[in-house]
Amino acid sequence: MENEEEIKPAVEKKVRSRTMTRKELFEELYQKSAGQSRSARKKFIVRNMKPYFRNEDSTIKYVEVQFERKLRNLICRRIRLTRKVNLQDFNYFCTFTYDGAKHTEESFMRKLRGCFKMMCHRKGWKYVGVWERSPEKQRLHFHGLFYIPDGAMPGELVEVKDYSPIKKKVQTTIQNTYFNERFGRSDFKTVDDRSMLGEAIAYLTKYMEKTGEKMVYSKGLPQFFISDIMDEDIVCTIGNEEKKLLLYDDFSCWDEGCYMGQVSKGVIDQMRKCN
């Protein structure tokens, strides 16, 4: 008797599908189109979201609303960043990059966050920063403004000369041995004056706008200082509901009826703070 060929029943392959909201889809497409111009980004998102709307007009309207939401959120984050930075004494602008021989991307993020947390708790560090990928190699970096008290710097700051593929020339940088040994590379720039602080804020804001990443803050960075306001210091009310006060540049600071002095960096440092 001839052996009959065994026939296996056909097995239907299960089609995997994802369930997500329109907002979740928008966020995913927004991230995918991060390197494009604003107009190209909109066209890309509209094209990919169109199948989930009645027509193209309704798709465009939805995408426009989401872009407006993104812009409002960005403005709020930018204002929050500026307020927090202006109430601190940040003295370094730093960039940290990982070495693939020492870390994966995930372990780099986890270990660096843990290191910052330890430095804040034990040595009084404060910081604000953002994660960013290099445009060419897509390697993850952390850029941040740091307040590092005297005597609280681990390792040594050393001068290093190396070739910059972006600037296409040899450059001199200040790096930290502690962070280089543990992570890969670190660059430390001293923040000497307000103009350099403004440049650092613009730098962080650029990455925040480009990638949509949220700022990372250490604990205890307030946005406001608290002061009683005298009538003679008020120029006028402002805002949609006129609930905000525009003050003269030389207004007086008061803390629960106690005169602290004319507004200045030194006086603000003495005032109570809040978020």
Q: How do residues 4-57 score in pLDDT, each as one tens digit?
A: 445 455 555 565 677 889 999 999 999 888 778 889 999 999 999 999 999 999
Residue 48: the pLDDT is 95
Kindly report whether the global pTM for this prediction surpasses the value 0.85: no
Instruction: Say if CB 79 and CB 68 are below 8 A apart.
Output: no
CB atoms within 10 A of CB 73: 12
Residue 165: the pLDDT is 61
Residue 10: the pLDDT is 56
Which 3 state secondary structure label does DSSP give 49?
helix
Whether 16 is in a domain gets the answer no
Whether 14 is in a domain gets the answer no
Rounded to an integer, what distance in angstroms lies between the CA atom of residue 243 and that of residue 142?
38
Residue 52: the pLDDT is 92
Which 3 state secondary structure label does DSSP give 12?
coil
Question: What length is written for the chain?
Answer: 275
Residues paired with residue 172 on neighbouring β-strands, in sequence order: 161
Helix (H) or strand (E) holding 22: helix 22-32
Backbone angles phi, psi at 228, to 5 degrees: -75, 150
Rounded to an integer, what distance in angstroms lies between the CA atom of residue 196 and that of residue 192?
7
Residue 2: the pLDDT is 47
Whether 245 is in a domain gets the answer yes
Instruction: Say if CB 145 and CB 200 are below 8 A apart.
Output: yes
Last residue of a domain, one of 217, 235, 262: 217
Task: Clarify whether residues 109 and 144 are in a common domain.
Answer: yes
Ranges of the chain with pLDDT below 50: 1-5, 7
Share of residues in the chain with pLDDT > 70 (%): 90
Total of domains in the chain: 3
Rounded to an integer, what distance in angstroms lies between the CA atom of residue 44 and that of residue 61?
14
Last residue of a domain, one of 66, 85, 104: 85
What letters, b where the CB count within 10 A reaches 16 and e where it falls short, cover 80-97? bbeebbebbebbbbbbbb
Whether 1 is in a domain gets the answer no
Residue 136: the pLDDT is 67
Structure tokens at 189: 């720039």
**Please, what is the end-to-end C-alpha distance for the chain in angstroms?**
88
Residue 208: the pLDDT is 78
Q: How far is CA 82 from CA 12, 250, 268, in A?
A: 58, 21, 16
Residue 12: the pLDDT is 59
Whether 111 is in a domain gets the answer yes
Task: Clarify whether residues 97 and 185 are in a common domain.
Answer: yes
Task: Clarify whether residues 51 and 151 are in a common domain.
Answer: no
Which 3 state secondary structure label does DSSP give 220?
coil
**CATH at residue 210:** 3.30.70
Helix (H) or strand (E) holding 52: none
